[in-house]
């Protein structure tokens, strides 16, 4: 399925104000600076739809984008080592937990983005456990597959597939487009 339209809908900063239109939701999350916004932009082929920054922790709201007028792509705040105060990090963590557990949101799946070069961190394990505990479908995206030593990238992708056999794992590069068609076919398939 091709992307025909992509537009920003709204930013949700608390636990209220979710879009009224009930479309399936594909939620993207990952550590700060793992490339969530870059993955979204590469999928829809719009360079600045989701704001991408070199500054860690730039996304501090739950950002909704309407894709093909039939599904929301949702960019969640990053977790981990963002240069934010501890209080602000705790608030963002609570907001993510609230959103993941929100029963009124018609989730299609969660896209957990990890760094293919660096591999899994403890915060990635904890986030995966949160998603698994709530029963959501999880797609693991090993982003930045074009960087670093390719043996390390291949090893990290294999580790993901071995540790999480119930999840779909996609090797991805927002820069080169590797994995784009595979990921789009997973995210846009009509399961509703």
Domains of the chain: 6-185 (3.40.50.300)
Instruction: Select from 111, 104, 125 the least CA-distant residue to 28.
Output: 111
In what order do the strands lie in the sheet containing 6-12?
Answer: 6-12, 62-67, 71-75, 25-30, 107-115, 138-143, 168-171
Give the confidence band of 114 by pLDDT, cuts at 50, 70, 90.
very high
- Residue 22, pLDDT score: 85
Angle CA 181–70–114, to nearest 5:
45
State the average pLDDT over residues 6-31. 88
Instruction: Select from 125, 157, 159 the least CA-distant residue to 143.
Output: 157
The answer to whether the beta carbons of residues 146 and 178 sit under 8 Å apart is: yes
Q: Is 147 helix (H, G, I), strand (E, B) or coil?
A: coil
Residue 31: C-alpha distances to residues 9, 89, 114, 118 (Å): 23, 12, 7, 12
More confidently predicted of 151 and 48 = 151
Q: List beta partners, residue 79.
A: 31
Tell me the pTM: 0.90
């Amino acid at each position: 399925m091709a992307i025909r339209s992509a537009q920003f809908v709204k930013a949700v900063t608390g636990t209220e104000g979710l879009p009224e239109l009930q479309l399936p939701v594909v939620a993207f999350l990952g550590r700060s600076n793992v490339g969530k916004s870059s993955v979204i932009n590469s999928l829809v082929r719009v360079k600045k739809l989701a704001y991408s920054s070199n500054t860690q922790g730039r996304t501090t709201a739950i950002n909704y984008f309407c894709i093909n007028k039939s599904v929301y792509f949702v960019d969640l705040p990053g977790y981990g080592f963002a240069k934010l105060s501890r209080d602000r990090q705790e608030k963002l963590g609570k907001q993510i937990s609230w959103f993941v557990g929100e029963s009124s949101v018609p989730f299609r799946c969660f896209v957990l983005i990890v760094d293919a070069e660096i591999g899994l961190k403890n915060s990635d394990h904890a986030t995966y456990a949160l998603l698994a505990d709530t029963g959501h479908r999880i797609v693991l995206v090993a982003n930045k597959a074009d960087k670093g030593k390719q043996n390390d990238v291949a090893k990290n992708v294999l580790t993901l597939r071995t540790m999480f056999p119930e999840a779909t794992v996609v090797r991805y590069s927002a820069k080169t487009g590797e994995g784009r068609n595979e990921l789009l076919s997973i995210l846009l398939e009509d399961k509703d």
